[in-house]
Amino acid sequence: MNDVNDLLGLWMRGELTEKELRDWAERAAPRFVPDTRDLDAYAEWELRSRRFASTLTSWLEKAQDADLEESLRTYTGVCAVGRALGVMAIAKPSFWLGHHLLMANRPAAAVPALEDAVAGLSELADEADMELAARDALIDALTDVGRTKEAWAQTEAFSDRSRALGHQVYEAAALRQRGRLIARLGMGDPLPALRQAVELRRGLEPPPEWLTRKMGEFLEPLGRLARERGSYLEAMNAFMEWADLDPDPAIRARVTSELGHTCLRASEGDRGASYLQEAAEQARHADDERGARLWEMQSAVALGRPFDATVIETAVTSETEAYEASALASALAEAKRVEDAAPVARRVLVWAQQHRNTELEINMRSVLAEDAMRRDDPATAIRLLHRAIYLADRFGWQAHGVGLRYNLTRAFLRNRNGGDAFEVAKTGIAWSQTHQSTAPSSEERQQIAAAAVPLYEVYARLTAESQPANFMAATEHSRAENLLLWAVQSDLTGGSLPEEADRLLNDLRALEVEQEVLHMARTVELEGSIKRDERRQELLAELRGLLGETADSVLLPRSHRPQPLESAAELVGTSQPATSVVYLYATFDGVCVAVIADTAEPDRVSGHFVSWPRTERDKLFSEWRQKLPDGSRNLEQLLHGGPPDARGRALSATAVEQMVRGLDQYLVKPLHDLLSPLTGHDLIVIPHGELTLAPLWGLLDTASPGHAMTLAPSMALLRQCLGRDRSAEGGVVTVPDATGSLDHVPTELLAVSRWTADLPGDCAARSVATFEQLVTAAREARLLHVSAHGVHDESNPYWSGLVCAADQAPYRVISRYLNYSGFSDRKDPDGYRLLTVAECMAELRLRACRLAVLSACQSGVSRLHGAGEMTGLPAAMLIGGARSVVATLWHVSDAASTILMHHFYSYLDYSADDWHPAKALARARRRLATTSREEAIEILGGEKGVPTGDPPFTHPKYTDAFQCYGAP
């Protein structure tokens, strides 16, 4: 039996063992004849050798088209036979054997095969591509079996060899391996190496026959490691680029799930759930039912919805299976099914420790700690979490570190160790503040702050009653940092900076807003994202070149950020006569409250805690949000034949009553004793979380009826607004209803004109119709008054806005990206369009503005965000430079709004240094409630829109919709 085909045929049929095959091959192989003088013998040896090698090659070709198991057996047989010809003869089959063993998740068996491949291929001058691919695969195999130090040595050799052979595509692969191993070995930050790998690989197009990695294999580790280190925006961009490049439906489903997990890690629950649901649909189209079920379950968990209780099979034999099982365990734990999550987590933990996968080990230790807490074993939870935190800190997984510290504080509290819980919370918050202050983009600042919110909540619970001033100062960092930064920059550009720096800062803010708009809308595309990042770097470089050493103080001014302190005086800033501050912070089990009874004595701070668990709050506020009409769906109907007396579809009286009763029961009454001493004072309320959506007039009615109330996203932003010195000079700008469907708007604007007539000097109100006109006129306006339809888009707050006349000019930076919910992106046939929050934030300048009044539906509704950002029209106006803003929380009656504004302007004191809009609004609110039917008809010039009853507008649906934001 000397024929190689016969030998391999017997092997493939299982009739020979591998040892028997090797022995027969040794006997069948041609023997080398060293005496070249015997030409006939030498020629015979050479001919037989070529036939032998040719036969092996034909079997290799057969293996290319076989299934995985048959290919593995073929390559194993070819390698066994080829050893008879020497190491170079088995180089290629060893490569393919190692490659297929890796595909079969058998890295330990792949290592010797790939070592043989590297040794043989390095001797073959014409196989550089395969040699380098073998080196790359060998590093994977060594890493998978935990031989990371050997993998590092091979990576150095791989890099050197790639450079020596001049193959840049493999140089990029070596950088990729370097980054992955830096992360595995805890040798520093892996992202620079991975970024270099991606940049180098992005510009290369290797020949199709080459064995190099696809671009997705470079982007995947960059995305995952960026996510784990808290660089969420970079992770999103990496995964989006991968999705754009890979047409495989199964791969696209996996990438979409990575986008979802990144959003969830960044506390963007709704957005993450949407991506995961999309991933499930893509997986189903790709016949991946297991993936579809997994991602559907994760989406349901993120939204707090029930899901199929059947646990998905979770074998853990490969990295892909380990990550899927990890996601399953985390989802089950999030859904409070820790008893189901624990066995899955144990299997993943074993795999992660065997393969030195730090990321998965950290995740699964966190899940098992939750299980220990469920079993009332906090000591075990503490041990698990200490080890996880050690790994997270050592390997630079900052995002993990924050969440783990929150879990550790819970374990310490369960173990009745409040002191250690406090110290852990402080450590995590300090990390968050450091990284927040140096984050390069607005979205990353938001994501870092959102990730740290649970720690702030623990800190608040531990300090609100005993150290209320420190509680206020610390939690300020989790409130509207982007809004504050942009407001500070807006004030800096009002005259203290060169004109060119002013322009560059405005362009930079517009770029950041644009990026957030696109991410919220999930319409980011690779080319545009790269161009925006390049443009951003250009703007930063220009600013630094222009401003020199002062650039950092402008780009990330620290003077506005209060540090933890023992006194609240720095937080309050300018004292207001007879004014009190009520500082609210929503936590997992209630609302922490700090009260400064008099801003003239800011060190006198009292603290309190109101028990109101988040589950109860969520019930009240989710019902409230569901009852708020969706302006994005109803605007077209309204504008084309809707009810005449509406600046949007009306909110039911019952919904408002339910919200007011809930606030009274859970918040106002429990604070009665704390608020009672504030009688005779105006209130500044700093709400937080879902409380920013609530009508908080009940606090004023309890504490100091007859006085005023204003709201601010944070104390620091309030201080910024108070510091805005607005001149008494300047024009008055009005924006009327562009649709002609609001009957009482002319009457309302008449009240503005009458008030304007009493101003000193020539200050006639100027009416503008389009955004182009508004941008120009608003620069010098001290009062801006909008009487129009308003829209709040729950899915994307940047698409919320006000209806105005369509521009004749081409659309600007932001508007061309927006979905106007039925509006054309050209001039609408009816002559109007939506003036969006995004456009206002990016382009509206209100540097002379004392007051902006947004008399439109839902103009004060903001986005709920974990970082405390209040993305909405009030925020846009405050960023633009307005000192104060008056806006609404729901859809308001045209008639009631007109009467309220009539009273408001009668009380607004134009002769004072400060107009005190909060006082004027509070008095107008009380006056509206007592306005008789006769007086209402007289003001309106008819009874259209006036409800039955006398007085007709006593219900809080009418009186409590408007609120004042910013300076009082």
> What Å distances lie between residue 232 and 237, 259, 413, 676, CA to CA?
9, 10, 30, 45
The stretch 580-609 carries a mean pLDDT of: 88
Residue 515 confidence class, pLDDT cut points 50, 70, 90: confident
CA distance linking residue 623 with residue 739, whole number of Å: 31
50 has pLDDT over 50:
yes
Question: What pLDDT sits at residue 376?
Answer: 92
Could you give the 3-state DSSP secondary structure of residue 594? strand
**Is the C-alpha dihedral spanning 312, 314, 320, 324 positive or negative?**
positive
Report how far apart, in Å, the C-alpha atoms of 593 and of each of 584, 663, 740 are. Answer: 5, 14, 45
Alpha carbon distance 922, 373 (integer Å): 49
Q: What is the model's pLDDT at position 582?
A: 94
Q: Is 626 helix (H, G, I), strand (E, B) or coil?
A: helix
| Cα–Cα separations (whole angstroms), residue 780 to 575, 733, 886 | 28, 9, 19
Chain segment 816-874, per-residue pLDDT in tens: 334 433 333 334 445 777 888 888 888 888 988 999 999 998 999 887 776 667 788 99
**Is the CB of residue 144 less than 8 Å from the CB of residue 354?**
no
The 3-state DSSP class for residue 38 equals coil
**How high is the pLDDT of residue 824?**
33
Give the pLDDT confidence score for residue 730 in this predicted structure. Answer: 72
Q: How confident is the model over 580-588, as a mean pLDDT?
A: 92
Instruction: Note if the bond before 951 is cis, omega within 30 degrees.
Output: yes
Q: The tokens of 123 are what? A: 């001797």
Q: What are phi and psi of 851, to 5 degrees?
A: -150, 135
- For residue 617 the two structure tokens come to 């709050």
Task: State the average pLDDT for the chain.
Answer: 81
How many percent of the chain have pLDDT more than 70? 80
pLDDT tens-place string over residues 522-560: 665 656 666 777 788 888 888 888 888 777 767 765 444
Q: Which amino acid would we find at residue 53? A: A
d(CA 251, CA 684): 52
* Max mean pLDDT range (156-170, 196-210, 746-760, 907-921): 156-170
DSSP string, 183-246: HHHT-S--HHHHHHHHHHHHT----TTS-PPPTHHHHHHHHHHHHHTT-HHHHHHHHHHHHHH-
What whole-number distance in Å separates Cα of residue 88 and Cα of residue 117?
8
| Max mean pLDDT range (301-315, 329-343, 751-765, 938-952) | 938-952
3-state SS, residue 89: coil
pLDDT of residue 744: 94
CB 517 within 8 A of CB 796: yes
Kindly indicate the confidence band of residue 370, based on its pLDDT and cuts at 50, 70 and 90.
very high
Q: What is the rounded average pLDDT of the residues 736-745?
A: 89
- Name which of 964, 963, 957 is nearest 896 in CA terms: 957
Give residue 827's region: left, alpha or beta (phi > 0; psi -120 to 50).
beta
Comparing 264-268, 295-299, 465-469, 631-635, the range with the smallest average pLDDT is 631-635
The rounded percent of the chain whose pLDDT value lies above 90 is 29
Neighbours of 131 (CB within 10 A): 27
Confidence of residue 11 (pLDDT cuts 50, 70, 90): confident
Give the number of other Cβ atoms within 10 Å of residue 572's Cβ.
Answer: 25
Phi, psi of 454, rounded to the nearest 5 degrees: -55, -35
Distance, CA of 556 to CA of 449 (rounded, Å): 15
For residue 808, the model assigns a pLDDT of 60
SS3 of 812, please?
coil
* Contact indicator for 372, 378 with CB cutoff of 8 Å: yes
Helix (H, G, I), strand (E, B) or coil at 708: coil
3-state secondary structure 354-403: HCCCHHHHHHHHHHHHHHHHHCCCHHHHHHHHHHHHHHHHHHCCHHHHHH
What pLDDT sits at residue 820?
38
Q: Three-state SS for 683?
A: strand
